[in-house]
């Protein structure tokens, strides 16, 4: 019986394993991971418009978000969407319910040294496989980055009741813009505990200014949130390359998944829900066709939109606030979230783009189209 190997047991590898388990394709599946980036210590937030296989892993759900743009704070209902938070340890527990050994699943400790047609190299030894799903190595060469998302977050305990436990802040532009287009994101646990994250879009290769990030977080907590005395329990940070170009995912019987496979949305940095949809499509393709390549592809204009936005905001950082203000100016966040989910029609998109400087974006679009 043909073996499937999933290279990497992070969020994308575990999500695919669960979807394969319920697809009844009857292939034995081996998930290989070296434990260097333990998924149980991580968390993901995302929005979704319907139920999903791994919804039981979501520990919190929200039906409203807060945005602060152009000097005004607005709380927006999400319409048919919900915003959820998934902790890594909960994801692991839910995935394990689906992937027990009786369903032909095994988890193997080991470092993936390479991926090739016919299998993977694990700790210097070849592990044969009929199909390989790779979240570790990725295609070579990768498309060049159009920008990078730089974030630094603090898990804070505040003296005062500084946070709204029922409403996360998706973006708040009351933070210095000296180091690129920046905003603050707040994910509350309760009135005294929250993840407060400083996020910037910057040109590729721009080194993060750690001191400026920490100063911006301290300023936000003191002057905007009114936290009073506070303690920082932990700090997390990352620099994520953002690529609007399509990533080459397929090489023979190898399919790249997760961020390595281009599932990170270039204009937002969100990936969790895109990975869930991709995992479901891969599993269904395996069930119906015996291969994983019958996957939906979003219209090419959405990659153009992403690339144009990144070009504009890295050159003119003030345009990010203007763009987000235009997208989230409606009575609910649903139109903007539907657009970010690449599920809008062209007429809906023209309505969303109203209020953006047309000449600036059209010039960037023309440049991108001419350079292809």
What CATH number does residue 97 fall under?
3.50.50.60
Mean pLDDT in the chain?
A: 94
pLDDT at 178: 81
288-308 pLDDT tens trace: 999 999 999 999 999 999 999
Do 307 and 331 reside in the same domain of the chain?
yes
Q: What pTM was estimated for this model as a whole?
A: 0.94
Asked if 333 contacts 268 with a C-beta cutoff of 8 angstroms, the reply is no
Domain termination site, one of 195, 210, 237: 237
Q: Is 305 a member of any domain?
A: yes
- With bands split at pLDDT 50, 70 and 90, how would you rate the model's confidence at 237? very high
SS3 of 348, please? helix
Tell me the C-alpha to C-alpha distance, in Å, between residue 78 and each of 85, 116, 121, 220, 338: 15, 44, 45, 25, 10
242-251 pLDDT tens trace: 999 999 999 9
CB atoms within 10 A of CB 66: 19
Tell me the C-alpha to C-alpha distance, in Å, between residue 88 and each of 10, 38, 58, 95, 135: 9, 8, 10, 11, 17
Do 100 and 196 reside in the same domain of the chain?
no
Residues with Cβ < 8 Å from 362, sequence gap 6 or more?
Answer: none
Q: What residue ranges in the chain does DSSP mark as E strands?
A: 4-7, 29-33, 43-48, 58-62, 64-69, 72-77, 82-87, 105-109, 112-116, 119-122, 125-128, 131-134, 147-158, 169-172, 181-188, 193-202, 230-242, 250-251, 254-256
35-90 pLDDT tens trace: 998 999 999 999 999 999 999 999 999 999 999 999 999 999 999 999 999 999 99
Instruction: List the structure tokens of 359.
Output: 């000449």
Domain termination site, one of 255, 289, 323: 289
169-219 pLDDT tens trace: 999 999 998 878 999 999 999 999 999 999 999 999 999 999 999 999 999
For residue 267, the enclosing domain spans 4-58+88-142+245-289
Do 256 and 354 reside in the same domain of the chain?
no
Do 205 and 321 reside in the same domain of the chain?
no
Do 228 and 256 reside in the same domain of the chain?
no
Number of domains in the chain: 3
């Amino acid at each position: 019986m043909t073996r499937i190997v999933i290279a990497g047991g992070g969020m994308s590898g575990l999500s695919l394993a669960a979807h394969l388990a319920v697809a009844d394709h009857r292939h034995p599946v081996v998930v290989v991971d070296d434990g260097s980036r333990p998924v149980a210590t991580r968390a993901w937030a995302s929005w979704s418009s319907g139920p999903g296989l791994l919804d039981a892993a979501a520990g919190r759900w929200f039906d409203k978000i807060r945005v602060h743009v152009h000097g005004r704070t607005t709380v927006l209902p999400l319409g048919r969407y919900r915003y959820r938070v998934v902790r890594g340890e909960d994801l692991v527990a839910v995935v394990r319910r689906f992937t027990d050994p009786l369903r032909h699943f095994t988890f193997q400790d080991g470092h993936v040294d390479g991926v090739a047609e016919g299998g993977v190299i694990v700790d210097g030894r070849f592990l044969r496989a009929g199909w390989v799903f790779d979240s570790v190595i990725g295609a070579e060469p990768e498309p060049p980055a159009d920008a990078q998302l730089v974030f630094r977050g603090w898990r804070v305990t505040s003296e005062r009741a500084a946070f709204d436990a029922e409403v996360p802040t998706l973006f708040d532009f009351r933070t210095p813009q000296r180091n690129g287009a920046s905003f603050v994101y707040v994910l509350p646990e309760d009135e005294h505990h929250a993840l407060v994250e400083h996020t910037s879009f910057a040109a590729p290769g721009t080194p993060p200014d750690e001191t400026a990030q920490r100063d911006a977080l301290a300023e936000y907590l003191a002057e905007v949130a009114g936290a009073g005395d506070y303690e920082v329990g932990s700090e997390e940070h990352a620099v994520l390359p953002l690529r609007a170009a399509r990533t080459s995912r397929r090489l023979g019987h190898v399919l790249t998944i997760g961020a390595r496979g281009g599932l990170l949305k270039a204009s937002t940095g969100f990936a969790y829900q895109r990975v869930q949809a991709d995992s479901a499509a891969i599993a269904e393709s395996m069930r119906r066709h015996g291969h994983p390549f019958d996957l939906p592809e979003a219209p090419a204009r959405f990659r153009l939109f992403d690339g144009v936005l990144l070009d504009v905001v890295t050159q003119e950082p003030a345009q990010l606030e203007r763009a987000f203000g235009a997208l989230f100016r409606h009575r609910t966040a649903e139109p903007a979230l539907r657009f970010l989910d690449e599920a809008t029609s062209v007429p809906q998109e023209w309505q969303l783009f109203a209020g953006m400087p047309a000449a600036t974006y059209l010039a960037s679009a023309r440049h991108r189209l001419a350079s292809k």
